[in-house]
Amino acid sequence: MSPMWKVRAIRGATTAENNSLEAMREAISELMIEIEARNQLDYDDVISVIFTATPDLDAAFPAAIARERPHWANVPLLDLQQMKVEGSLEHCIRVLIYFNTTKPANEIYHPYLRKAQNLRPDWSLAQFSRY
């Protein structure tokens, strides 16, 4: 019996040190490397990617930075601005990747890096114990 294909999503987030192209490139590259390595992504199976950034990050489009990476040039990427909520995490970049997979949901790795670890501490701790 062949495995059943499903559309699933990878969530993740990170923070940039400041509002500069260099800081955003460093944070996004680190996040994408973590997603790619831990989920063994086949780029042909990626449907689309949505990035959000908090309003205090306007030095670059996260999707443009991701598109610089190998294999991402032909993937549909979209940037949105994260809602401004009083007291929320600053300089935050989030990602949502839709892809086709045979993996069950509990085998998908959702990285929350840097100060964004505080957004989902339950995932950060549970996922490290699996690897």
Indicate the pLDDT class of residue 121, thresholds 50, 70 and 90. Answer: low
pTM value is 0.88
* 128 pLDDT tier (thresholds 50, 70, 90): very low
Domains of the chain, CATH where assigned: 6-130 (3.30.1330.40)
- What mean pLDDT comes out for the span 77-86? 93
Give the pLDDT confidence score for residue 118 in this predicted structure. 81
| Average pLDDT score, the chain | 90
Tokens 């490139």 correspond to what residue? 25
Look at residue 123 in the predicted model and tell me its pLDDT.
57
Q: Find how far residue 15's CA is from the centre of its chain.
A: 11
